[in-house]
Structure 1
Amino acid sequence: MEKGRIILHPLMTALFLAVSFPLSSSANAQARPNFQATASVVIMRTLSAQQASVLRFGRVMPSAGGGAVTIFTDGHIACSGMRLCDAQAAPAHFVVTGSDTLVAVSVPDEVVLVGPGGDSLRLTPSLSTSQIALSDGQETVTIGGTLAIGADQSLGSYAGQYEIKFEYQ
């Protein structure tokens, strides 16, 4: 070491740079502006449905060649190939309750009704709409359908269940 002159060891130089870098970095961080951001959420009511009336085809008597009964969602009934078609047939009604927004509605393409001895009928359901806009938190959906009845269909009572889905959009 010379008199009046300090000679730094290479390790000391690296240590000095390492200590001085965080100081300059924090100075830059303080110079950056702060920004405000917003977060939001909408809390929705649970979606629910209540069946107000069942899909009812009533009593029918097919002709020798079979036939079909169609219940339209507006309540009209069409019978083809029937000797008797009950005027008491009616569509199903569901009252949907939830938050005021759009709701998708769906049913299966086909429903099986089971009768005496395991005999079955095929029901093709139809919806009044595939999407509803809940207003004041409530709306009604109507379900009709077409029931095909074969000429050799077993006599008796037939019943089945179907799934109707409601989903927020």
Structure 2
Amino acid sequence: MNGSSLESHLVYELFDPNDKCVTKVNHVDENRVLFGIIFTIIAVFSLVVILIVTVTVYSVNSTRKIFAYELLNFLNITQLIYLLPTFVVTIPCTITKCPYFTDRLTIWLSWPDTFGLYAGAAINCLIAFERISVFLSPSIHKVLVKYAIIWCSISWLIGAAIVAVSNSIGCHKW
């Protein structure tokens, strides 16, 4: 099956062609495999670095109990969730034109990307707020430390809420 017949074989059943929220990228066939290989190398390197940092921070924090390290590990776990669709959807679809995924399945498999993006942003804001509170308001910092799991859970709930809202209005990010 040549490229043009494969492309005509794909069915984009969910999306209105006038909808700019999710669109198919055109004119990438010439460099698809090369880009896929480079992207795979970068993604694997990112995964290895995040895993090394997570294990290192966890082992250091098990003896020192530093709140910023707990937040950093929450951020690292969120980034691992964010990377999941890269290996499940993006890399296979970059290299093979994704003939085995329907649009609905691609969206379903890609929700961790949106979740990780927004939950990671919320945790980054929490880390910044925690660092500022160390110097400007020790009483607020004590509250942050005391309820650390709740604050990190709120960050994850923000990510989940954005996934739910964006999917309910039909704007799927993938």
TM-score, scaled to structure 1: 0.25
Report which of the two structures shows the higher radius of gyration computed on alpha carbons: 1
Structure number with the higher strand fraction is: 1
TM-score, scaled to structure 2: 0.24
Structure number with the higher helix fraction is: 2
